[in-house]
Amino acid sequence: MERRNRSKAPLIMLMLLCVCVSLAAGIMIGRNNVISSPVIDFFTQNEADRTVKGEAPVVELQPAPEYTDGGYETTDIFEKVNPSVVSINVYAGTSVSPISSGTGIVMTADGYIITNAHVVDGGTSVNVVFNDDTQVRGTIVGADEDTDIAVIKVSATDLTAAEFGDSSTLKIGERVVAIGNAGGLSGTCTQGIISGLNRDMSSSSRSLALIQTSAAINPGNSGGPLVNRFGQVIGITSAKIAATDYEGIGFAIPITDALPIIQSLIENGYVTGRAVLGVQVIELNESNGPMNGLPRRGAYIASIESYSDLLNKGVRERDVIIEANGVELYSTDDLMEQLEKFSPGDTMNLGIYRPESGETFYVDVKLVEAR
């Protein structure tokens, strides 16, 4: 099988946009790069604070108005949306200072708020600040690291919920506005256009088809709204490219794709129906494989969860997954592409290479549901 070049861009940094005490978090876009995130918790999910669960509210995507003029003035868009935008400060343990801060979008009048998973990562308590400076303690309902989406719940009523638009109808060149807590400055509003659609950017686990925008976004914008010219939220601001010679390349999660994730987080605290193997893997390449006596490709098994069926099939740590469903693996993305074809309870055939003996053997592994 001929090796494929999966790299999307040369050595540019995709920055997550929460404001952190340490340097801004980032990962390399190159598919075969594992230096920036050497151990990928690829098929398991960390437990989130799931004390607040309930029936997911119905959020209807509103069609854009029928008239085809330039839409609302930017000042009118800001006045419409800003009451639905909050600042989020995240704390860990008994820390007085926040470990990160970002932005959130009020989804319902009774207190469900959308943000990014990386904003609340590592946090044990959340403080939500509304545009009138009212502060409320929030609870993390659930967070999905794979899609970088999280939901927070506050005890409040009569909040101003945002209006959501259909991101599947977007066109390149449309005017958009980003609102958020940029650099800790709440209520920051920037304007640009949709520069691209379905941008396949790699996170630390799976690929995300994102909206690309020229609207200026900065650390602190994470979790905030990307809004169309009619004041409808069509994306959740998530990341930007930050490197020398790159400017005006920001990304947002399409709201149409995000809603099913959000609803599952509210109802279950995690995303249901996602099949996993139950392992942590490290992607092998021409550099890190041979120097450690391992193959030049495949997924090196760093650890196996106790519930994984791999243990029942004699697979162990330090083995390498080199094939899935007859497809040779050159990256963890290759493995994910095969895995996404299955549901929990299905059986997946894997080719396993054992470095100690140099043998390759095949096993049929039963997949489980990610939690």
> pLDDT tens-digit profile of 144-159?
988 899 999 999 889 9
CATH 2.40.10.120 residue spans of the chain = 1-35+48-269
If you ran DSSP here, which 8-state letter would residue 84 be given? G
Under CATH, which number does the domain 275-369 receive? 2.30.42.10
The DSSP 8-state label assigned to residue 61 in this structure reads: P
Alpha carbon of 293 to those of 88, 212, 283, 287, 330: distances in Å? 46, 40, 14, 11, 17
Predicted TM-score (pTM) of the model is 0.70
Beta strands in 54-134 (DSSP E): 85-91, 100-106, 112-115, 125-129
Q: How far is CA 281 from the centre of its chain?
A: 19
Q: Which is nearest to 141 in space by CA: 236, 20, 54?
A: 54
- Which pLDDT score is estimated for 81? 97
Q: What is the mean pLDDT of the chain?
A: 82
pLDDT, residue 36, reads 26
CA end-to-end span of the chain? 34
- Secondary structure of residue 325 in the 3-state scheme: coil
As given in the structure block, the two tokens for residue 55 are 């029936």
In a 13 Å sphere around the CA of 184, the CA atoms on its Cβ side amount to 8
Task: Name every residue whose Cβ is closer than 8 Å to that of residue 70 and which is 6 or more positions away in sequence.
Answer: 175, 229
23 pLDDT higher than 60: no
Residue whose C-alpha is closest to residue 183's, from 125, 224, 228, 232: 224
**Distance between CA atoms of 61 and 169, rounded to whole angstroms?**
11
State the span(s) of the chain assigned CATH 2.30.42.10: 275-369
Q: Which residue has 């490197």 as its token pair?
A: 243
For the domain with range 1-35+48-269, which CATH number is right: 3.40.50.300, 3.40.190.10, 2.40.10.120, 2.40.50.140? Answer: 2.40.10.120
pLDDT in tens, 174-210: 999 999 988 888 889 999 999 999 887 654 445 568 9
Catalytic residues: 118, 148, 222
The span from the CA of 328 to the CA of 298, in Å, is 8
Buried/exposed code over 224-235 (b: 16+ C-beta within 10 A; e: otherwise):
bbbbbbbbbbbb
Highest mean pLDDT among 33-42, 83-92, 143-152: 83-92
Question: By C-alpha distance, which of 93, 82, 231, 86 is closest to 156?
Answer: 86
